[in-house]
Each structure stands twice: as C-alpha cells, then as structure tokens.
Amino acid sequence: MKQSEKLLEQRRREMVETLRQYGISNSRVLEAFLRVKRHLFFPEDAVGCAYNDSAYPIGFSQTISQPYTVAIMSTLLAERCPGGKVLEIGTGSGYQAAILEAMGYQVFSVERFVGLYERAEKLFSRLGIRVLCRHGDGSLGWIEEAPFDGIMVTAGAPREPRPLMQQLAEKGCMVIPIGGYDSQQMTVIQREGDEFHRELFQQFVFVPLVGNEGWESRVF
C-alpha cells in the first residue's frame, strides 16, 4: 500500500527524534536528515522500511546504511570539516551523498558497481541533487579533483588507503571504518602537512571496500 507524503514526513521526523535520542546533536546533520527524503532512495515496494533505523539491501550485495551510521559519519565530518569539497567513496543508493550535499558540501562520489552508479546518477539528476559521481575504483580516490577538504569512505577498509590520504587537503579529514570483514572501527584521520593524526571511535559493520587499495575481489 502506497504511503502518503504526510505519513512519510511524520516518519522522517520520528527518525530524526530517534537520532537525537541516540546523541546526534549537530544541527546541520539533523536539518539535512529532515530535508532529504530517504524513501526516495528505496525501491518503491520497500518505502515502508525507509525510516526504520536499520540498513536495507540495494542489490549487488550492497546496502543503504542505517540512519544512525550515516548520522554519526556526517557528524564526525562536520565537526572537523565545516565546508568545501568532499569525496565520498561508495555512492551506493546515493543517500549519504545527498545528506552531504544538503549540509552544504560540494560533493564528489565514486561507485565501483556500474549498475549502482547509473541508478544514483539518474536519481541525482531527477531530484536536482548536485553531486558529481563516476564509476571506478574508489580506493584510488579521484585524483583529477583532488585535493579534498573531506573524504568519507562508506565501506570497511582493511587499512588506510594511501591514495586517499594523499588526496586530503591541508587540515583535511577522512572518516573511514577500518578493520576486518566482520567488524571495523570508525576512524578519523586529519592531515597536517605530511603528518596524519588519528582518532578512534566505536565499532561498526560495513560491506568491504574492494579495490586496489582495499580488499581483493573478482567482482570488480
């Protein structure tokens, strides 16, 4: 049964209140969650699941991250990188990129699955979301557009991808989950000249970052 826009808006507000209860307090992040309609990034027959605080499969063995995960990563970035150019690794459904764009960043995004890339690009165009995306190995970044004030990696990496670190601008920061297949620790890396300072946060579970500087796969 198709849900009304009024009901979806109510559920979106409830989602934001849940995020507040979880400790998300950054006003830019919360306002972006209110503005961006998460259900538009879901299959039509799954719209009813859009405002649950859970991940959801989007095909190609990928997921749209749960709202809390998107919110905490967006908060970590916003606290250290108030504006400028941001590179997202793993476009996926396009929801995280849309949140970043709503927060005022100039967003670039790389997706390794051509099917997801094409779907997201069409959705951005239809919704008027100004995100520049391309298909490629996200673990290598986007050298032609570097340097970036912020980089957000929405997949679990086995280690810090050196190309991404080198594409950070001075004082730039990268938010990235690092660890094994089963669990990763959210890590923030901030650049100061040739030095990189690290902060460690809670554990999460992400799909693997596959590529030359990530996990190996025959899929790519």
pLDDT at 146: 97
Average pLDDT, the chain: 94
Give yes or no for residue 78 having a pLDDT over 70.
Answer: yes
216 falls in which pLDDT band (50, 70, 90)?
Answer: confident
| Annotated active-site residue in 25, 54, 65, 74 | 65
Tens digits of residue pLDDT in 19-64:
999 999 999 999 999 999 999 999 888 998 999 999 999 998 899 9
147 cis-preceded (ω within 30 degrees of 0): yes
CA distances from 32 to 57, 67, 75 (A): 22, 12, 11
Residue 110's closest CA among 120, 100, 101?
120
Give yes or no for residue 220 having a pLDDT over 60.
Answer: no
Q: For the ranges 22-31, 44-53, 118-127, 134-143, which has the lowest average pLDDT?
A: 44-53
Residue 65 is a catalytic residue: yes
Give yes or no for residue 139 having a pLDDT over 90.
Answer: yes
219 falls in which pLDDT band (50, 70, 90)?
Answer: very low
Tens digits of residue pLDDT in 171-203:
999 999 999 989 999 999 999 999 999 999 999
DSSP conformation letters of the chain: -PPPHHHHHHHHHHHHHHHHHTT---HHHHHHHHHS-GGGGS-GGGGGGTTSSS-EEEETTEEEPPHHHHHHHHHHHHHH--SSEEEEE--TTSHHHHHHHHTT-EEEEEES-HHHHHHHHHHHHHHT--EEEEES-GGG--GGG--EEEEEE-SBBSS--HHHHHTEEEEEEEEEEEE-SS-EEEEEEEEETTEEEEEEEEEE---B-BSTTSB--S--
Which domains are seen in the chain, by residue range? Answer: 5-204 (3.40.50.150)
pLDDT at 2: 57
**pLDDT, mean of residues 59-88:** 95
CB-CB contact of 74 with 99 (8 Å): yes
